[in-house]
Structure 1
Amino acid sequence: MKSHLFILRKPAHGGAFAQEMLDIILTTAAFDQPTSILLLDDAVFQLKKGQQPERFGMKDTASIYPALEIYDVKHIYVEAESLEERGLRPGDLCLPVESVYRKDIPGLMRRHDLLFSG
């Protein structure tokens, strides 16, 4: 079985992209494929607590992330520098994550068979 790493870079509410990627992640995991997520750059905002996108007619993608555990997505990584550059800490996020430093990301990628980036 091949392991999958989904690398997300875009914020949750910049269009339908984040929702579509989450759908693909859930579909992949539903077929018992080992699936992990790495959030870089503005994608770290996808997990920020206290979002209220419904006020602007958008879906709350952050509410989908807790369901990943049901689908056996065990590893959600965030780049430590991306959090820091945006004034966030792991405690500002809606679920526990594994912080990884920028210098360690190539090694994380090598541990997976398939990479999907967006």
Structure 2
Amino acid sequence: MAKSLLVISRQAPWSGPGAREALDIVLAGGAFDLPIGLLFLDDGVFQLASSQDAKAVQQKDLSANLQALSLFGVDEVFACSHSLDERGLTSPGIAQSLDSEQIQEMIDRYDQVITL
């Protein structure tokens, strides 16, 4: 049986390659039917914000990758409610909002965790 993997994405989409790499890992894992989840934490929740202008910061838009998660069988998508509140974001969109206690319980369910 395959070990489950949780990828924690902590970087804003425009702060470097970490956000894209996290999504790439999750999409690849989903393509191979790996039990995989994705948690947006800290500035990573900015990836969930709508109406981003990636060209303004000379970055590639990640929204298509986010929309593809379900196509790759990635249904375990979470966002930290505290991180969302701190950054003035209201709706996590495709992600389920979790508080700190729920996040710890969720992390404990995974065999391996990668943080980017």
TM-score, normalised by the number of residues in structure 1: 0.91
Q: What count of residue pairs does the alignment treat as equivalent?
A: 115
3-state DSSP class of the match of 1:70?
Answer: helix
Per the TM alignment, residue 2 of structure 1 is displaced from its structure 2 partner at its CA by: 1.5
List gaps (5 residues or longer) in structure 2.
none
Residues 1:80 and 2:98 are matched in the alignment: no
Q: Within 5 A, what are the aligned runs for 1:52-67?
A: 52-67=53-68
**Mapped partners of 1:117, 1:58: distance in 2:** 21
Residues 1:115 and 2:116 are matched in the alignment: no
TM-score, normalised by the number of residues in structure 2: 0.92
Once structures 1 and 2 are overlaid, which stretch shifts more, 40-49 or 20-29? 20-29
Q: Deviations over 1:68-107 (max 9, x none)?
A: 10100001100101000111111xx4x3221110122211
The amino acid of 1:56's aligned partner reads V
Residue 100 (structure 1) aligned to one of 88, 98, 101? 98
Q: Within 5 A, what are the aligned runs for 1:40-59?
A: 40-59=41-60
Per the TM alignment, residue 113 of structure 1 is displaced from its structure 2 partner at its CA by: 1.1
Q: Deviations over 1:5-52 (max 9, x none)?
A: 111111011012211221111111111101110111100001110001
Per the TM alignment, residue 62 of structure 1 is displaced from its structure 2 partner at its CA by: 2.2
**Mapped partners of 1:112, 1:74: distance in 2:** 14
3-state DSSP class of the match of 1:64?
Answer: helix
3-state DSSP class of the match of 1:6?
Answer: strand
**Mapped partners of 1:56, 1:102: distance in 2:** 31
Identity of aligned residues (%): 35
Query: Segments of 4+ in structure 1 off by > 3 A?
Result: none
